[in-house]
Structure 1
């Protein structure tokens, strides 16, 4: 079968998006009678609701309905999310505040009106009286004696634990020549997708709920909605147009549930449009405190690691999944004979944290790679050589029960440091010898970091359907939403290469849980492997169906027919797909079905892990000793992608991940104080700018064609984001001999490290 020349084609959605023709949820035309919904959010991080008076809002002309705790009318506000496991406090949240507000942004009320302007005015007329309560933002403080209890019914801010390990850690420490211990923190940051979080359109009538929304895991959302409203999940239909970025933030939100209830009560569709300030208060990355105690031999061999982490869930408790992710990614890609890890999930008065690109891996890599670099330098060992000595090799087992490592760190590490012109050596052996009197104002330093992450969680099952009719257009019905990562381009390319047709002959459906086959959702870099394989199988099945129809039409045997150059061939005679589809008469649509999954396994990843996502980052920085300003001069990401199906799209994923990591490194942090979120808006939250990019920026992709995805591909969207912060932090140490422990890295922290503040 011929392979179409499509590797360097632009994304199939590029023209729509650059011309502004692409349709997102906010762009959808209003349904007849659509009401505009707006939200009232708590201005306090922790407060008791004394009273709510919405009478003025209800009497405003154009207001159709108001929903607060006072208008629930017996409807249970408790979210009906599926429990992750024992101790998962999934039912700790009401979709609208009833007794207390527990974070700045907790939903207190929703208004639906004939226009957005009227709804906004009505929100301002709702009078809420609060009794402010002490708030706690750091998980260490949340567990301290006397800390404010966020959920009184539990009597503690401790949600639950996840433990993992092997060997005998205490024995390992006895065998070690040196023991090193340190603590690192990664605070809250916001996903900041281009499309605000919370856009939503719902029509509830005739006992059915029709939803258009950016939701990354629609089947889980459908189940929760069905449970809350006491209906069959088949009566809940979720459709998804283009999604303007998500990174884990685009899920079912409390305001959406309120909108459904209001649509039911009013009998009219409801459309929610959110502001950037509201978007900030919908999700966040988990604040994690990472503590590692490591025993090593004098030659640098790692003997034991004992790791403890506090994982701040924010105000509500969907944290055990992230805690598990943190635990099983905490010791890095290193051979460790004795390992003990404890992760504790903790409540805090921050915006509830959810999945975020590289879930927990970004935080733990910051801690682990900073810690490993410090060990190497304290032992007087080259940090590159230390990593090469201890890193896992291809074929090694990372976690028992999972797939062996399918990547080559010993190849990737040299590529990283050599690309930025570094020989891997330390800038100097003893920073204590460099006194302020002899040091120049600026210092140059180099650093690196490495990482391993599971390809994706779980096993699951992914389905796709490929059809063709007299038009010869191959249509792929599937439920992987286009969230900005290029899913439609990958699916289109897989179909075109499998059938040997141009990508222009392939159409991709938008996700629709009512008409398209099951796919668990976009996340954990699973789309290329899971949906890609399902689409490939569907197209292969379609090819078999086409040949069977052709045999019935023109005769011959199945073996005498072939597909090539986008046509069916029987000897020297060739026919289009459309001609074959029309051959049997009527409006026939020929269909192929495909499915893919991995084996279920009792591992921390809830599956065998079909491949590993590995990465290397190397940085060159210049540190100004007088101002504390760190300038990133050179940076390289090295990623094993298996096979880049479309190098342009794949490299964009590597670049974008590293740029997102650049924001985590230097700029991004949600700041709390005086009982409020202080920088929860576009004007106050600092993102990386074009001027922040280094002069030399490289993204290297290793292609060994050994992945489980179509044509040897792997998932790789969450690789580059994790390594840039520790690479930069290690380079700063290399330059001026100070170790930054808390992100983001700011001039103030550098100057404090240098003893100048």
Structure 2
């Protein structure tokens, strides 16, 4: 609010040139020729780059899993809006003006954005181009199969088998801050300032692309004006790194809001699911086929698809299961990490089946879930962490807070759903804490700040552990040349992993203080106590500043503590290792629906999270409420609309996120605190959980209020109204008969 935070677009080093990307408004195109004459004649334009500047090998490519995405389109564009040229100028306005005058001769090629389209189309990628592929089909990026038990035998014993399809569209992250990055060429390499969640990941990607030692690439992540996963993996950083080195000057690119729609998005997904139950409502089997539409390049989709497939059966005991999860290439912008990391698609399908089964079997939806819910210590899937919380109690807490067994008013409905996802496994976080001569402390961490409050949380934890006032602790974040390594700021892992690394570092620093105080007091280090920032060694007593002054001299010296939290990899695990914890949530909603229009009004949302232990309650509630509202947007209105591969609503005017009139009239956030998490004070991560179960809870409430079952997102008034008309027509027909 004060403008004191410097975001990426606020940074313009001396001598900076500005870049604008030239894009084609077609789904796919074969490039015939380009003409930069008019662009170069634009006042202020200094250079124009195309793929031809890199010879027959084409421009450098980047990607977190496979280096498949070129910094500029090579020979053809593979998605709507893929950049074909970069116009460089002395000002941003001049670069944009020059880009508008760049001419491209191209042949438009067919595009696709559906499962059926991907299956019927020619291969998007050919063998002479680096890409991931699977023999399931010409546009299959990858396939992951999971399963156990005898499916045929389980089906034979089922009293009820439900066979349905659930769909969710492409969606946009819609961070307020657009993508922005600036690169500064150095004698030994390059420095990149980027709005990025994972600076060390970006450093690796750029170093690999440029064939430089990692130590020659410096990434300084700026605070972010929102991300939700969209700024996790490399987007603009590699582009500015390549061209700044060619120019020999700093280069900055800031995308418009419309361009951000063409840079990263959430995958669309189609889930075909068959679910069996016995007469008592207990699951007999689950069979899921999930097709994720991942865009033109792999990005991080291999992890999204495989991780979602592994835990597709959710929190329920399932004697027999078969899961097939595939990623399919489409001529749409590459999909990337998105809050929930794909888990919401499978939650929507599995929870929808639970509600339909409850209706068909005449069992209360809460009771049906409790009959099938796994309890603490039960296995999840082979090789994974067992259930690490009291999941049935989460359901009971939500039902109680929602007054589940109190009849609803006419025209209203209630719904409840369970959501879960695993945390990224086998990662490392390292931290350093430095105590200055005056006893103040600087904590150095690789976490990026994007509004989740990591700076304040880490400062508060370190201050509490050392017994310092909070203004005596500062936090330095996300500079690969300064802070120790951190794998990523994602998957709700930062409080657990970096919190534990900081705790280890503070313990290491405290040991160093004890050793020096022991010399001052003439006692063993084990006999030195530190309580509320007061150090006592025998008869000697003093503050941290007193220890530093007595050890190094007034105003001199420094002590450091180093810490680490590491989860070991497992080569036999599909994800590289078991999860350190599960995010488990229950969302319950009460809503009303206008019978004339299908418009719904959400009166109340109750959201219950297994938090392990809450560190900052205000921030925890904020994360939950933000997740719930974002989940409502995805459930009720948000969708990227494509026609023949062309994006029709890629702007803030046309893409419908929730506004103040759409939020719940009442929102209640509750937390289960059993102190059973691996983080500080027994905490678990919770930043993604708010989004997981909102859509199925809303769908269940719509069904309760109207009888209409919506299996395709978003749940629009039009869809509700159409279903209500079909129900009314069926009732009239039955009455006539």
Shorter-normalised TM-score: what interval?
over 0.9
The reply to whether residue 322 of structure 1 matches residue 279 of structure 2 is no
1:127-171: per-residue Cα shift (whole Å, max 9, x none)? 01222222211123321x4x3542244781122200111112122
1:610-668: per-residue Cα shift (whole Å, max 9, x none)? 22210001111111221011111111110011111111111111111111101101111
Q: Report how far residue 701 of structure 1 moved.
A: 1.1
Question: What is the SS of the residue equivalent to 1:164?
Answer: strand
The reply to whether residue 609 of structure 1 matches residue 579 of structure 2 is yes
| Partner Cα separation in structure 1 for residue 441 and residue 695 of structure 2 | 44
Structure 2 equivalent of residue 298 of structure 1: 279
Q: Which runs of 5+ in 1 are unaligned?
A: 1-17, 84-89, 428-439
Structure 2 equivalent of residue 737 of structure 1: 707
Structure 2 equivalent of residue 466 of structure 1: 433
| Partner Cα separation in structure 2 for residue 356 and residue 691 of structure 1 | 25
Q: Report how far residue 675 of structure 1 moved.
A: 4.1
| Partner Cα separation in structure 1 for residue 355 and residue 406 of structure 2 | 13
- Kindly tell me: are residues 262 and 610 of structure 1, through their superposed partners in 2, closer, same or farther at Cα, counting changes over 3 Å? closer
| Partner Cα separation in structure 2 for residue 458 and residue 645 of structure 1 | 22
Structure 1 equivalent of residue 631 of structure 2: 661
- Given candidates 580, 585, 593, the residue that maps to 2:562 is 593
Aligned pairs for 1:324-723 within 5 A: 324-423=306-405, 443-454=411-422, 456-571=423-538, 573-585=540-552, 587-601=556-570, 602-723=572-693
Question: What is the SS of the residue equivalent to 1:697?
Answer: strand
On the 8 A contact 1:107/1:255 being kept in 2, the answer is: no
Structure 2 equivalent of residue 4 of structure 1: none
- Given candidates 178, 198, 218, the residue that maps to 2:199 is 218
Which is further off, 603-612 or 33-42?
A: 603-612
Total equivalences in the alignment: 715
| Partner Cα separation in structure 2 for residue 571 and residue 651 of structure 1 | 45
| Partner Cα separation in structure 1 for residue 304 and residue 656 of structure 2 | 25
- Kindly tell me: are residues 489 and 22 of structure 1, through their superposed partners in 2, closer, same or farther at Cα, counting changes over 3 Å? same
Structure 2 equivalent of residue 229 of structure 1: 210
Structure 2 equivalent of residue 23 of structure 1: 6
| Partner Cα separation in structure 1 for residue 40 and residue 255 of structure 2 | 21
- Given candidates 100, 118, 125, the residue that maps to 1:142 is 118
| Partner Cα separation in structure 2 for residue 62 and residue 74 of structure 1 | 30
| Partner Cα separation in structure 1 for residue 441 and residue 186 of structure 2 | 34
The reply to whether residue 107 of structure 1 matches residue 87 of structure 2 is no
| Partner Cα separation in structure 2 for residue 669 and residue 402 of structure 1 | 33
The reply to whether residue 284 of structure 1 matches residue 265 of structure 2 is yes
The reply to whether residue 250 of structure 1 matches residue 217 of structure 2 is no
- Kindly tell me: are residues 170 and 710 of structure 1, through their superposed partners in 2, closer, same or farther at Cα, counting changes over 3 Å? same
On the 8 A contact 1:322/1:360 being kept in 2, the answer is: yes
| Partner Cα separation in structure 1 for residue 68 and residue 89 of structure 2 | 30
- Given candidates 95, 107, 115, the residue that maps to 1:119 is 95
Which is further off, 70-79 or 184-193?
A: 70-79
- Given candidates 29, 42, 47, the residue that maps to 1:65 is 47
1:253-285: per-residue Cα shift (whole Å, max 9, x none)? 454323222211221101111110111111111
| Partner Cα separation in structure 2 for residue 395 and residue 60 of structure 1 | 67
Q: Report how far residue 402 of structure 1 moved.
A: 2.6
Structure 2 equivalent of residue 7 of structure 1: none
On the 8 A contact 1:35/1:270 being kept in 2, the answer is: yes
On the 8 A contact 2:592/2:601 being kept in 1, the answer is: yes
| Partner Cα separation in structure 2 for residue 542 and residue 99 of structure 1 | 56
Aligned pairs for 1:156-195 within 5 A: 156-195=138-177
| Partner Cα separation in structure 1 for residue 539 and residue 606 of structure 2 | 52
- Kindly tell me: are residues 493 and 254 of structure 1, through their superposed partners in 2, closer, same or farther at Cα, counting changes over 3 Å? closer
Structure 2 equivalent of residue 10 of structure 1: none
1:327-346: per-residue Cα shift (whole Å, max 9, x none)? 02321210001111001110
Q: Report how far residue 414 of structure 1 moved.
A: 2.1
Q: Report how far residue 175 of structure 1 moved.
A: 2.1
On the 8 A contact 2:262/2:333 being kept in 1, the answer is: yes
Q: Report how far residue 498 of structure 1 moved.
A: 1.5
| Partner Cα separation in structure 2 for residue 341 and residue 742 of structure 1 | 20
Structure 1 equivalent of residue 733 of structure 2: none
On the 8 A contact 1:617/1:635 being kept in 2, the answer is: yes
1:203-260: per-residue Cα shift (whole Å, max 9, x none)? 1131320111122222222222112212111100001121222111114545432322
On the 8 A contact 2:29/2:108 being kept in 1, the answer is: yes
Question: Could you state the TM-score of these two structures normalised by the residue count of structure 1?
Answer: 0.91
| Partner Cα separation in structure 1 for residue 505 and residue 618 of structure 2 | 25
| Partner Cα separation in structure 2 for residue 471 and residue 126 of structure 1 | 59
Q: Report how far residue 94 of structure 1 moved.
A: 1.8
Q: Report how far residue 501 of structure 1 moved.
A: 1.6
Q: Report how far residue 104 of structure 1 moved.
A: 1.8
Which is further off, 743-752 or 396-405?
A: 396-405
Structure 2 equivalent of residue 6 of structure 1: none
Q: Which runs of 5+ in 2 are unaligned?
A: 128-132, 730-737
Question: What is the SS of the residue equivalent to 2:61?
Answer: coil
| Partner Cα separation in structure 2 for residue 310 and residue 390 of structure 1 | 26
- Given candidates 242, 245, 248, the residue that maps to 1:261 is 242
Task: Report the RMSD for the aligned CA atoms in angstroms.
Answer: 1.9
| Partner Cα separation in structure 2 for residue 506 and residue 75 of structure 1 | 51
On the 8 A contact 1:45/1:102 being kept in 2, the answer is: yes
| Partner Cα separation in structure 2 for residue 451 and residue 298 of structure 1 | 25
| Partner Cα separation in structure 2 for residue 597 and residue 253 of structure 1 | 24
Which is further off, 316-325 or 468-477?
A: 316-325
- Kindly tell me: are residues 70 and 58 of structure 1, through their superposed partners in 2, closer, same or farther at Cα, counting changes over 3 Å? farther
| Partner Cα separation in structure 2 for residue 599 and residue 70 of structure 1 | 44
Question: What is the SS of the residue equivalent to 1:509?
Answer: strand
Q: Report how far residue 408 of structure 1 moved.
A: 1.6
On the 8 A contact 2:377/2:387 being kept in 1, the answer is: yes
